[in-house]
Amino acid sequence: MSKKVYIETEECVGCQSCVGLCPEVFGFDDDAEKAFVILAEGGPEECIDEAIATCPAECIHWEE
């Protein structure tokens, strides 16, 4: 079973660091000022791990 990435959207502060690091995995909703997941599985794990590590709100997680 592959890992899936998710964002606790209510915790997102809208910094867009995840979007900058992995634009193929994360998108940004300008109206809500929150990031969201475009590609929950199959994205580059190394890039997603870096996004998780740099998220100031610590709202990006792996779900297995």
DSSP string for residues in 16-61:
-HHHHH-TTTEEEETTTTEEEES-SSSS-HHHHHHHHHH-TT--EE
In CATH, what class is 4-63? Answer: alpha beta
pLDDT digits (tens, 9 = 90+) for 8-58: 999 999 999 999 999 999 999 999 999 999 999 988 999 999 999 999 999
Question: Is residue 64 very low, low, confident or very high in pLDDT (cuts 50, 70, 90)?
Answer: confident
Would you state the pLDDT for residue 42? Answer: 84
Would you state the pLDDT for residue 1? Answer: 56
State the pTM of this model: 0.92
58, 50 Cβ separation under 8 angstroms:
no
Question: Is residue 59 very low, low, confident or very high in pLDDT (cuts 50, 70, 90)?
Answer: very high
55, 5 Cβ separation under 8 angstroms:
no
6, 26 Cβ separation under 8 angstroms:
no
